Structure 1
Amino acid sequence: MDADTFGAWGQWAGAIMSFFAVVVALGIAIRDGRVRADERADQVKAQARTVTVDVRKLKSDRWHYHWTSVVVENHGTLPITEITLTRLVVKTNGREVAWELKIDSKGYTSKALPHRLAKVLGPGEQGEYGSLRELVDGPEVRFIQPEEAYAEVTFVDAAGLRWSRTTENREPQRVIEK
């Protein structure tokens, strides 16, 4: 093998190795970019994760009275605003029932949703909203002790971002208003 052929093979090998080095560098850069994007998304959700939603049986020791309410708790260190009930599903005896959520002597049904529950919920505060009742024909009203209830609440965090949380306590979902 003469010197020119040997040199040509060396140039080809160097070019191939340089190509693979560029591919590896691009792969590392793309992976690092994804990790940083995931970390940013995680930081953005941090306050929203501290908010919990529940449909809970409450009682008054003073009056020996029980009722079921939508409860929103802010476990964070910053306030949340514009707390809004967007969805409520109630099941008793395995079937979905028509309901009324009595708040400040006004009754709200699923047709009235979304309904603002509160303007502000401060750090460490809990909001108990309404008394849940089943709507039945006639003048009868039954307070519900639901076997199953699903509520969805939206709120705005301190950064001005709107989030959705549910009683299932999944990851907070960002709500983009159109």
Structure 2
Amino acid sequence: MMSETGDSHVPMPWGPVDTDVFAAWGQWAGGIGSIAAVVVALMLATRDSRSRRKEQKEQQAARAATVTGSTERKLDDGPFYSQWLALVISNHGTHPVMDVKIEDVKIRVGEVTYVKWKLAGGKADSSEPYLLAHVIGPQDEKFTSLFFEDAEGQKYVYEKHPIDITFSFLDAEGARWRRTGYGEPQRVR
């Protein structure tokens, strides 16, 4: 509204306010609203990104959990029908796994844990992992014979005692996973 002197004022409950001041308040309010909108948009984008990363990690871990290590008795179909213990790594997933390595094997018999083991070809427990397979395809498995020895070097006959197999592998995306028995797979790198 124009005053008698030609100044423009906006009537307010506390008194008239110059229109330029009133316009400046509107610009400040608009600027603060714009900044708040940017902050909220950034917060939502960050939360969405974290949620997607978490979901992706959960999916990768679920795929890694489809690779299992176990033992089973095998029966030779030769003339002696001998039984032997096989260490088996199975890929129940839909993608191949690569560079499958046996890192450690332990058997618990009562209170005793045997840590001396040998695989086919004489590969014994050591600091170097045993490469079981370069690739295990989807719905496939690889196995090797497994022997345990006691402190005197005598072979131990497996009688359904708990065996912990620690193995590692690369998934189809190139991530290395380590798993002991049926425990949760852990991403190594």
CA distance in 1, matches of 2:158, 2:60: 37
CA distance in 1, matches of 2:76, 2:132: 25
Deviations 1:151-173 (A, max 9, x none): 22122333444332331341451
**Aligned pair 1:17/2:33, yes or no?**
yes
The structure showing larger relative contact order (alpha-carbon pairs under 8 Å, at least 6 residues apart) is 1
Q: TM-score, normalised by structure 2?
A: 0.70
Shift of 1:9: 4.8
Q: 2:137 aligns with which of 89, 108, 122?
A: 122
The higher radius of gyration belongs to 2
**Partner of residue 170, structure 2:** 156
Q: 2:147 aligns with which of 122, 125, 132?
A: 132
- Deviating beyond 6 angstroms after TM superposition, the runs of 4 or more aligned structure 1 residues are none
* Residue ranges of structure 2 left out of the alignment (5+ in a row): 1-14
Shift of 1:6: 5.0
How is 1:159-178 mapped onto 2 (pairs within 5 angstroms)?
Answer: 159-173=173-187, 175-176=188-189
Give the share of equivalent positions with the same residue, in percent: 32
Shift of 1:22: 2.4
* Residue ranges of structure 1 left out of the alignment (5+ in a row): none
- 3-state secondary structure, aligned to 2:89: strand
CA distance in 2, matches of 1:126, 1:74: 6
Aligned residues: 170
Deviations 1:48-96 (A, max 9, x none): 3431122x2324285373x443211012333323211112232211232
Shift of 1:126: 1.6
